[in-house]
Each structure stands twice: as C-alpha cells, then as structure tokens.
Structure 1
Amino acid sequence: MSLSNDAGNHANNSNGDPEITASRAMDRRRAIASLLLPGAALLGGCASAVTAKPSAIAVDRVDPRFEDRPGACIMQPDGTRAFRNHILRDQDGNVVRYQDDLIEGQIFAATFMYVNCKGICADMTSKMAQAYDILTPVMAKPVRFYSFSLAEDSPAQMKEYMEARGLYGRPGWTFLTASESVMKDIRWGFGFMDVNEEIDNNRVGHTGMVRFGNHKLDRWSSCPALSNPVVTARSVISLYPPGQRPHIAALERVEPHPARAIPGYQPVGPSSQAPSQASSQASPL
C-alpha cells in the first residue's frame, strides 16, 4: 500500500474543502510516523525517543508509576503495556475504564473522530462500518472497534451519530468521550502525535489512521482508515496468533485462473548434447 498515493487520492477528493485538505495533508506525515513500530512514535510513553513537555493529565487519580507526560505507559511483568486508567463514557453514558475495560486483554481497532467533523470522519466511519460487516463473525467475540471523540462530544451526540449511520447497537463497537487532555494522552499513547504543539492541537488535521492492538501479545499495527475495508479487516485478523486466526469467508483469497495455453508453443527440452561433448566445447577459461 502506498501512503503517498493514498494521501494524494484523499486530497483529490476534497472538492476544495480546506478542512478536508488540511486533514488529509497531515495524515500522510502522521501515517509514516505511526508505522515506525516500535520506534520513536508508537506507544510513545514506554520507549519513546520523543521528548514532550510535561502536561497536566486529567485522570481520576495520580498514579506515580507513570511519567508526567502525554502517552506514558509502563511495561508489566507479563510483557504487556499498562496505560493510565482514565475514566471515559460511552454512547449510552456508561462509565468505562481505559486500561481495565478497553485495553487489558483486548483485540481492537481504534480511530479518532468527532461528531461535527466536516473532514474525513464520515468517510472513515463508513469504511470502518464496511470492515465491521466483513468481521461480523468475530465482532465482540472478541474483536472490538473504538471510536474516540476528540471534541468532548456528549453521549447523546455520539448515540445520535451512530443511529444516523445504522451503527447503534452493533455488538463490539463503542463510541467514547472524555476531556481533551485525556484524549490527548490516549492518542499519544497510540503514537498519533506531533511534537509541534500547534499542529498537534489542530483538531481539523487530526489523524485518519486506525490503530490495531492485541494487548495480550503486545502486537500493534496501523493503516489508513480510508483503506479498502478488506485491508482493515485483514489487519485485525493478523493480530491473532498464527494457527488461531478465525476463518472469515469474505477474506478468503480467490485463486487466479490457470494460465492459458499458448497455441503452437513448444517447450524447450533438455539438451541432446552428450555431457562429454559439452565439456569438450567448454571455454578453457
């Protein structure tokens, strides 16, 4: 997949809308950064080369295990990552814990959006819905989709957004909201950041990437949310260990048609020249 071509196609489809153009232009840079696994950007708090200024993180309690910077995480004895256990609310107003309920032991695909987005959010949601349809046999069993609001949308707004798109009530798909500082910590923890504070805080140019994760295996990957939904679905299935990947009929690769015979073609047979003759004619060099 070519990230440059993908970003270019998005720009060509922007119809002159400055919000869409700005969002898609910045996606290219962030896409490249987020795919450098597990280098400077990915899951920045655990082993990041990016140095961020200390920032107040709105959490339910102060946990001294974490460094005072966005995206910080710690490695646990079992080799998995622990993030700050933020409090969020879903589309029904239910309280959920970030680490305990959304990350620990989960296989998931996460995107960032907001209800009143005039850019790529609607297209991202549509593509994710198509990927969901492909993955229906494993959705909520155990795969989950998370859509994180970047604009502190209310549960009622998120529910209305889901209902308008036929998403409400789909097992395993949750829309989530919290304060902007909490979302920044979550976003940076997934590697979606820019060290330029002005660019990083520009919601119009927010990331259009999907972060895939299998917490138990500490396996992470990413692709543009506007990719072919089959690519997104395959990325989710690739999070499973080899030999345990579920059979999804829509993802079965179709075998190509057998090669057609070429009329009059005669394959070249083995040389009729005897080995002794061949060796006698060989170059003395």
Structure 2
Amino acid sequence: MNRFVSSGVLTLCLLSFGIQQAQAHSADEHAGHTAPPRSSQEHAQVKFANVPLFDQDGKSVRLEPDLVQGKIVVMSFIYTSCTTVCPVVSSIMGKVQKQLGARVGDEVQLVSISIDPQRDDPKRLQEYARSFQQGPGWSWLTGSPQSINETLKGLGSFSGDFKSHQPLILVGDGDSRHWTRYYGFTDPALLSKEVEKLSGLRTHARHTAIAMEHQP
C-alpha cells in the first residue's frame, strides 16, 4: 500500500513540476499570451508605411502597392519562435485559406508580418510557413526593425515588446482605409464571412457604376 501511495505522490509532484515548467516557458515566449483575450472586433482606419519589406522568398516588396491594392486582405502578426498564440493564429489563417480556396491568390491576399524581424529572416519565415500555408496567395513578411515598426504603427498593431502583443487579425478591402480588427482567437468562418461581405460590396459597387454609365 505504501508503494502505491509513494507512486501517487511522485506522479503528482511530476505533474506539478511539468505545469510550472510549461507556464514558465509560455510566459517567456509570449508574455501576456497565457490568457488570450476573448474574441472581439472593432472598425478601424489603417495607414500603410511606404517602406521596403521582404517576403519569405527574399523578394523585396512594399506592402500597399505590391500586396494590398486591389485585393481583399486578411493580415496577421506573428513571430516564429512563439510557441503559444502565434501557431494558433497562423492555423486560423490556414483555415481561412482553405475555406476561400482558389480565391486566395486571385481576389484575396493573405499576409503575415513578423514582429521579430531581428530573428525572422526570409528563410526562417519560409520554413515556418510550410506548417500552415496550403497554396499561393499568402505572403510572409519581414524587414529591418525600423521598417517593421513603421508598418506596425500604421496598422495599429505596434506594442513595443513583441512578446506581449495581442492576437490580432486585420481584414479589409485594399482599396479602402476602413478595416476591421479581430482580437483573440477568431473563428475562421467569421473571417471568411467578412471576406465574402467585402467581395459582395465590391460587386455591388461595380454593378452600380456600370448602371450609372448606361443612364441616359
């Protein structure tokens, strides 16, 4: 009987130690992410910094003219050494890509921006992307710390400490300054629905413009 009691105590001790280690690791990798905020959203205006960035293939790009203009965009903010929230956010983006299918890379553009540019070079982003990306139309961006900071400030996602940034996904029409910020772990279906809504508004605006052109 004593043998079983000792075994049970040992198991409890190991379990407690493991939880403490996991919590310490989580806090180190992503301070503030041990209890992500509940999913919420807000309308916001964004500004695109005209600074050079690099995608996962090492190609130099500028966010607005090369990836955003003319597209409906779903954008996230991650860093590759994060082991808590960022993989979940990237997984959500991957599900959005799957739900939207061939429209990603055509009408829709996915963008993930590293908030740890000092470590996340294009090669590292490329390796990270393999776990989540399922086709074209998804750009993973990095750049100089100055360029990334200017980009994040314009998008309203700059925190000063990349390990304490909040989970955030932006969705908007690249031809408009009015976007929606989604905080927390947002249901991919909700993001896809917003994309569908923006696509419908585009179609309606296009048909309205055509109708007005043909008015006597």
Q: With a CA cutoff of 8 Å and minimum separation of 6, indicate the structure with the bigger relative contact order.
A: 2
Q: 2:78 aligns with which of 109, 113, 119?
A: 113
Q: Which residue of 2 aligns with 1:155?
A: 122
1:24/1:205 contact within 8 Å kept: no
Looking at structure 2, the residues matched to 176 and 182 of structure 1 have their Cα atoms a distance apart, in angstroms, of: 11
- What is the TM-score normalised by the length of structure 1? 0.56
**1:102-134 deviation line (CA, Å, top 9, x unaligned):** 222221011111111133011111111111100
Q: 2:57 corresponds to which letter in structure 1?
A: D
Looking at structure 1, the residues matched to 154 and 113 of structure 2 have their Cα atoms a distance apart, in angstroms, of: 13
- What is the TM-score normalised by the length of structure 2? 0.72
Looking at structure 1, the residues matched to 66 and 202 of structure 2 have their Cα atoms a distance apart, in angstroms, of: 27
Q: Which residue of 2 aligns with 1:174?
A: 139
2:68/2:109 contact within 8 Å kept: no
- Compute the displacement of 1:212 (Å): 0.9
**1:234-276 deviation line (CA, Å, top 9, x unaligned):** 122222243738xxxxxxxxxxxxxxxxxxxxxxxxxxxxxxx
Structure with the bigger percentage of helix: 2
- Compute the displacement of 1:182 (Å): 1.6
Looking at structure 2, the residues matched to 107 and 20 of structure 1 have their Cα atoms a distance apart, in angstroms, of: 29
Q: Which residue of 1 aligns with 2:207?
A: none
Looking at structure 2, the residues matched to 173 and 21 of structure 1 have their Cα atoms a distance apart, in angstroms, of: 27
Looking at structure 2, the residues matched to 175 and 28 of structure 1 have their Cα atoms a distance apart, in angstroms, of: 24
Matched, 1:214 2:173: yes
Higher alpha-carbon deviation: 145-154 or 209-218: 209-218
CA distance 1:201–1:172, change in 2 (3 Å): same
Q: What residue ranges of structure 1 are gaps of 5+ in the alignment?
A: 1-14, 44-72, 74-82, 194-199, 246-285
CA distance 1:177–1:192, change in 2 (3 Å): same
> What are the within-5 Å matches in structure 2 for residues 183-222 of structure 1?
183-193=148-158, 200-222=159-181
Q: What residue ranges of structure 2 are gaps of 5+ in the alignment?
A: 1-21, 205-216
Looking at structure 2, the residues matched to 100 and 242 of structure 1 have their Cα atoms a distance apart, in angstroms, of: 22
**1:117-169 deviation line (CA, Å, top 9, x unaligned):** 13301111111111110011311111010010111111111111122x1526x
- Compute the displacement of 1:179 (Å): 1.7
Matched, 1:232 2:191: yes
Looking at structure 2, the residues matched to 147 and 243 of structure 1 have their Cα atoms a distance apart, in angstroms, of: 24
Structure with the bigger percentage of strand: 2
Q: Which residue of 2 aligns with 1:127?
A: 92
Which structure has the larger Rg?
A: 1
> What are the within-5 Å matches in structure 2 for residues 254-273 of structure 1?
none
Looking at structure 1, the residues matched to 31 and 79 of structure 2 have their Cα atoms a distance apart, in angstroms, of: 17
Q: 1:22 aligns with which of 28, 32, 50?
A: 32
Share of identical aligned residues, percent?
Answer: 25
